[in-house]
Structures are given as C-alpha cells and as structure tokens.
A and B are shown apart, each in its own frame.
Chain A
Amino acid sequence: MNKKSIPFAPRLKDAAKRDNYTFWLLGILVVVLILFPALKGQNIWTGSTIKSMAMQFPEYGVMALGLMLCFISGGIDMSFVSIANFTAIIAVKIMNSDAGQANVIPMIALAAVVAIAIGAVAGFLNGLFITGFGIPPILATLATMQVYSGLSKVLTQGKSQSVLDSTYSEIGHSSLFGFLPMPLFVFLICFVMVAFLLSKTVYGENLYMMGSNTKAAHYSAMNTTKMTHLTFMISGILAAVGGLLMTSTYNSAKPDYGSSYAMQCILISVLAGVSTFGGKGRIQNLLLSVVIVQIISSGVNNFPNINTYYRSLIWGALLLFMMINNYLQESDRGFGKYISKIKRNRARAKLGGEKQ
C-alpha cells in the first residue's frame, strides 16, 4: 500500500489515532518506572537489576512476538508454551547425548536447529488443523497444547532435564560487545525480523487484512491457507527460540516451565493494542508493552511480602482492565463516545489549521 495514494485527511486522522497509543504507552512506562521506586522509597533500578531484566524479558518477549502475529491474523495460539517446553526438552536431550566430548558447540548448534525445526513443524501442524479441518484456532491450539504437553511428560517422565555441559548456559549469560546480553540480542534480532515482516512484506500487509475480515481476504485472492500456515509456523519457531532461551536461563528443561507465560504474553499483546479479533497492532507498541510488563514484574519482585501468586492476579486484572479499556475506546458509547468526540474535534482542528 503506497502511503501517498491515500487521501490526506483520513491519513492524518489515522496517524493521530495511531500515535496516540504509542504516546500513551510511553506515559505508562514512565509512570511504572516512577511508581515502584516511589513505593519502595529508594531507587530500585540498579545496573544489575536492569541487566537481569534485560535477560528475563526476551524469554517471553519472543513468544509474545509470535502470539502477536497470530492475533493479527485473527487467530490465537495457546500452545506456544507447550511447544517451547517440548522443543527445549528435545534440544537438551541432543545436547546431553555426547556430553564430555570436545564438539560441544556443534552439538549446541545442532540442538538449536533441531529445536527450531520442530517448532516450525509443530506450528505447521497447528495451521493444518485450523485450515484443513476448520477447527477454530483457539480450540485447535488448546488441543495441541495438551498433545505437546503430554509428549513432553512422556519424554522426561516428569523429571527435569538438566544440561550437563555448562557451555550453553555460559553462552546464554554472556554479553556481546561487552554490554548487550545474549538473550536481548536474540530478542532484538527476532523483533527486527518480525517488524520487517509486518511492515515491509506483502505477507505482513495481507496479514492485517486477513485479520480484519478473513472472508473478504479470501475473496480478494489472498491465499489465507498459506498465510495461516506461515503465521503459526513463525509462532512455533519463535516459541522454540523462547524455549531455547529458557533452557539457557534455567540450565534445564521441564514440561511445565513458563506456565504463567501464556497469560503474560496475552497481556503483552493486548497492552500493545493488538486486537484479539485481528487486524490491529503495531510492532513498536509491542516493544513498549514487553518492557512495561517486565518492569512491573521486576518491580513487584522488590516487595517480598507480595508472593508470586499476586503476580498472576496482577496480570489477570491488568488484562481485564486493558481489554475493557480498549473496548471502550473503540466503541461509541458512554466513555468511548466522549473520547472519540475529542479525537474527532482535534483531528478536525488540526486539519483546519493545516489547510490555512
């Protein structure tokens, strides 16, 4: 879609609407950055805290990228955590298969490649169930989640698989150029790739349209089948990458790691303005929302009397709040009417000012 081909007035209104959300998210980021030190009474954002945060959020950050793609396409992927664990377990088994020998790095590389390949296959299977059988994505991924989770349990007999050689964990905890933690580097690469996909490729443009109205997209000669397959494959690959990151952090793989990541990633996506019905969501907002969620997570960690269960409550409540808020902003009733009126007047004033 050539930007110059769209008439001026709708483009302006569109831009005002879009930028608003990013600025709003930046505001939330600032609020959250200030809130926790203020509550605690001291500065909690030390260098080591920031470094550990930068190493934590890539795990679920890459998974949130995949989930965002699925959301934009109009579907949802609930199986990504299971895929992550499943591929991680297989990767650990490969890495352990000849521990103590000299060729550690090639084995790690092989394990990573196999894990990503299996993630792609798992995603492809998801897509197959959705397009081939016509199962709604949510049910298909719920079912495959069970299948992969079950397979993980079979492979590990319920125990956690530790990585015998410490090289992998060392790589995962190392920093590139002296300051960029490896997980963050991986996340940034994935982020740039997904951003490129969404904004500069035909697939990306069509994805938004498919999410808005799948039938119309289908009748517009878009290959929705292929796009669904590709979307879920990418989600599977990113889930596998997330699993590899988790493995480097915990130095082991287990069937039930990251059980709270499902909720967290959905929250990140909704916070980023991704509509669960599809067709909306900007990638830069996702970066902001991942950082915000990580800050909240680390901030809450500083209060030891709030145990981990509070965190799921916070995620759930935040998710509810965000969904209701997004709904109200879109709708034409009550609170939403007021907001849309303000926006309309503002855009009109801007337009009037520009014309003069």
Chain B
Amino acid sequence: MEKTKKFFKRITRRTEFYIFICLVVLCIIVEVRSGQFFTANNIVGILRSMVVPGMFGLTTLMVVICGGFDLSFPAVAALSYSLTTTILVNTNYQGSIALAFVMAAVFGFILGALNGWVIANFKLPTMIVTLATGTVFTGLMLGVFGLKEITSTLPSQMVALGKSYLFEVYSPAGLRATMPTVFIFLVVLAIGVSLTLRYTKFGRGLYAIGGNEVSAERAGFYVKRTKFFLYCIVGSLSAITGIIRCCMAEQAIPAALTGMEMKVLPAVILGGASIFGGEGTVVGTLLAIGLITTMENSMLLLGINTYWRDFFTGLVILVGVSVAAIQVRRTKRL
C-alpha cells in the first residue's frame, strides 16, 4: 500500500501523467460523440499519422533538452529528400532503398552542420538562427536548385516501402487500415533516443548543457563539440524522416513540410520538456505528439469543420504551454 501510494505521488508530479490524462479524456470525448474512436482502423490510422511528427518530435526533443530550439528541421528534411529524390529520379535509380536513406542522411548531416557551426560557435538565440537557416535552406531548395514536385516517378523501392504494411485491421463497418512498416522506424528511433539520453555520455551531456551550460563546461563536457554533433545528427535524422514521409505519401513535394515546426515544437514542450532545457522525456514527447495527432485526426469524427483545425491545434498548444509554464513557475517559485 505504501509503495503504491509513493508511486502515485511520484507520478502525479510529472507532466507526462497529465498529458496522458488529457489524451485519455480526449479519446473518451471523441468516442462519446462519434462512437467510432476505439475502432481498430481509427487507432491504426492515428498511429500511422504519428510516424512522421513523432520522429520529428524526438529529434526536436534532443535539441530542446540541450537548451536550443530548432525551427529549421522541416527545411532540412525537405531539402534533403527533394535533393535525394530528384537525383534518384534523374538517374533512373531502381536499386535498393538504402541508398536513398544514406544520401538523405548525408545531406541532412551537412545542413545540420551549418546549424551546428553557427549555434556552437556564436552565442546567438537558437530560435532566430534556425529560423534564418531554415529560410536559407528553403530558398536553396526552391530558388537555387529549383527542385520540383515528384509525384508519379518516385523510385519504385520507396513506393514499395510506403505501401508495405505490418498488418491490416478492419473496423466493424468494413473500413480498412494498415499499420505501415515504417512505424518500426518510429519505434526504433524512440528506443534509440531514449537509450542515448539515459545511458550515453552524449545524452547526459545534453541534459547537462541544457541545465546550465557554464556548469556543464566546468564539469568537463565539451559543449561546442556536443552541440555541433547534436545538430548534425538531428539534421540526418530529420532527413531520414523526410524520406519516410515521401515513401508514405508516395510523392516528394518540396513544400510539403512547411509549418511542421510550429506544430512539433510546442508539442514537445507540451510533453514535459522544459523551455529552458535540461528536462524532457521520450515518453512525454510521444504522448504529446499523440495528443496533437489524435486531436487533428478526430476533427472529422467530431464533426468539426476542417477550417477550425488550426485554431484548435493552436488552442491546445496554448493551453499546454501555459500549464507547463505554470508548473515551471511553481517549482522555481519566481
């Protein structure tokens, strides 16, 4: 009895718990209003929609823990996957999909390196720096390289990956939904990030730098190196996520990911990552992204006009960030 009491006391202090409660409440509300929420195809559909935002959220989580904000990851991903798919299509590549991933990862690494170089060497506000680099990358993609949409000529391997699924489910009404294979990527990334954050020096360094950069430096962490490496890795992962999105959508549209950063970043904060850095968990991030995705997907079930979608998303983000800020205030007693 004592142990369970302690467990509950410990768990209710965490933000993740409240996000979980919000998620459950939202699911119940949608179920009550539409009666179709807890159908297998709906749940699978939501999980399917969670793959790309979830992966972006995990990379953003690492950046936020380190104390930065990355607003350029959609541009990094878009430029990487546009370049990759354009090159592959122009060379009529039909081989293994691994090359696409590797190429995108390399591009993402280089782009992330620019971010990392500026952020690590100059103490500039990361949000504005990444806003600027994001604009530069978008300008490169659409202006200098002039990359166009690729809709029907995507390499066959990528389309195949997008179409393949782990299992399929049917709802009572006969609606079909498939759990895509790429969901494995999300799971692997989640486990990878979680292990990195907890058990590697790099991961712990992120928490340390986010908590107090000067103390971390004094304690022996190589702040510049860690930050630089972080942004390179985040760039690569964003690029890989971009390729996955292309596979899922079976198209490569350069402008497809714009505005993603405005959804994912507040969602990560919603999930318990502190705005100032030094805190954040994979579970919280996934729950928060799940909450936002569920809300967006449930608009239809709730009978809400799609034009209200952005407004409600913004509202949820506002509420979530307020709650997070109030909690921070309570602990810091400002």
Contacts and interface: CB of A to CB of B under 8 A. Distances in A.
Contacts of B315: 147, 150
Given A277-B125, A327-B122, A142 B262 contact: yes
A308 B320 CA distance: 37
Given A313-B143, A327-B123, A143 B317 contact: yes
Given A136-B275, A158-B307, A313 B132 contact: no
Most buried by B among A140, A153, A158: A153
A151 B143 CA distance: 31
B311 A154 contact: yes
B114 to A, nearest CB: 9
Interface string B109-120: 000000000100
Given A135-B325, A150-B312, A266 B318 contact: no
A312 B139 contact: yes
Given A134-B328, A146-B317, A310-B139, A266 B307 contact: no
B45 interface: no
A147 B144 CA distance: 33
Interface residues of B, number: 47
Contacts of B321: 133, 135, 139-140, 143
A339 B159 CA distance: 56
B133 A316 contact: yes
B140 A147 contact: no
A21 interface: no
Given A134-B334, A316-B136, A150 B309 contact: yes
Contacts of B326: 133-134
B325 A133 contact: yes
A317 interface: yes
Given A149-B314, A150-B309, A327-B123, A133 B139 contact: no
A150 B125 contact: no
Given A144-B314, A149-B310, A324-B124, A313 B118 contact: no
Interface SS, A side: helix
Contacts of A327: 122-124
A307 interface: yes
B311 A324 contact: no
B265 interface: yes
Interface in A302-330: 306-317, 319-320, 323-324, 327-328
Given A309-B143, A310-B143, A313-B144, A266 B314 contact: no
Contacts of A277: 125
Given A139-B266, A139-B275, A320-B118, A263 B135 contact: yes
Report the interface size class on chain A.
Answer: 35 or more
B329 interface: yes
A143 B136 contact: no
A129 B139 CA distance: 33
B311 A153 contact: yes
A143 B311 contact: no
Interface string B121-164: 01111011101111110111111101000000000000000000
A311 B138 CA distance: 10
A143 B143 contact: no
A138 interface: yes
Contacts of A262: 131
Contacts of B275: 135-136, 139
A150 B308 contact: yes
Contacts of A144: 314, 318
Most buried by B among A139, A145, A158, A306: A139
24 contacts: A129-B322, A135-B325, A136-B275, A138-B127, A142-B266, A146-B317, A147-B314, A149-B314, A150-B308, A153-B307, A154-B307, A158-B307, A262-B131, A276-B128, A306-B143, A312-B139, A313-B136, A315-B132, A317-B132, A319-B132, A323-B129, A323-B132, A327-B123, A328-B122
